Amino acid sequence: MKRKHEHTPEDSAPNTISDATLRGFVGYRMKRAFNVVQEDLTTTLRPFDLRMLTYTALVLIVDNPGLRQSQLADAMDIERPNLVVIIDELERRELIVRDRVPTDRRAYALRTTLAGRQLYEKAVAAVTVHEGKLLAGLDDATITTVFDALRTIEKARKRG
């Protein structure tokens, strides 16, 4: 069995570290790239006092007014208990409201306030600009290919 990668001699510390084996895996490459994107997103959202999860929740509530917490948790792929604190924060800051649903008094219909919608507009615009810079080195066709490929991988969960 032939070695895929050369190893450094065993008696001294390598000057430069090789990640050649790991580079063969999508997971490694995705994590590295995503770290950069997430770091950028975090700094982009900081002026708005939003974190990734509060931002995601806000966007989804603006786009889907009246949705239930369980629906939102489902869409965000997080457990219901973890969504509660996110909603708490958005509600405390008066960006959204929890409206009681008359037909089902267990549930809340989530809606944004005017302030929430205004913050949404500003935050989405800022994130759009920042992501544009991250993708500056890629042409439109490549971006489309990448987006489609990511979707394919995402959907591969079911087919496993």
Partner DNA sequence: GAAAATAGATATGAGGCACAACAATGATTG
Partner DNA sequence: CAATCATTGTTGTGCCTCATATCTATTTTC
120: Cα within 13 Å, side-chain hemisphere: 20
Q: Which stretch binds its own copies (CB under 8 A): 79-87, 88-96, 128-136?
A: 128-136
Beta-strand relationship, 104-112 and 96-101: antiparallel
Nearest distance from C-beta of residue 58 to DNA, angstroms = 13
Binding pattern to DNA, positions 13-52, x when CB under 7 A?
Answer: --------------------------------------xx
Q: Which does 92 bind (CB under 5 to 8 A by kind): its own copies, DNA, none?
A: none
Cβ distance 113 to 94 under 8 Å?
Answer: yes
User: In this structure, what token pair is assigned to residue 104?
Assistant: 């089902």
Q: By CB under 7 A, is residue 94 in contact with DNA?
A: no
Cβ distance 37 to 72 under 8 Å?
Answer: no
Nearest distance from C-beta of residue 147 to its own copies, angstroms = 6
From first CA to last CA, the distance across the chain in angstroms is: 29
Q: Which stretch binds DNA (CB under 7 A): 19-27, 84-92, 121-129, 137-145?
A: 84-92
Q: Which does 65 bind (CB under 5 to 8 A by kind): DNA, its own copies, none?
A: its own copies
Binding pattern to its own copies, positions 48-77, x when CB under 8 A?
Answer: ----x---x--xx-xxxxxxx--xx-xx-x
| Backbone dihedral angles phi then psi of residue 17, each to the nearest 5 degrees | -90, 130
User: In this structure, what token pair is assigned to residue 99?
Assistant: 């409206």
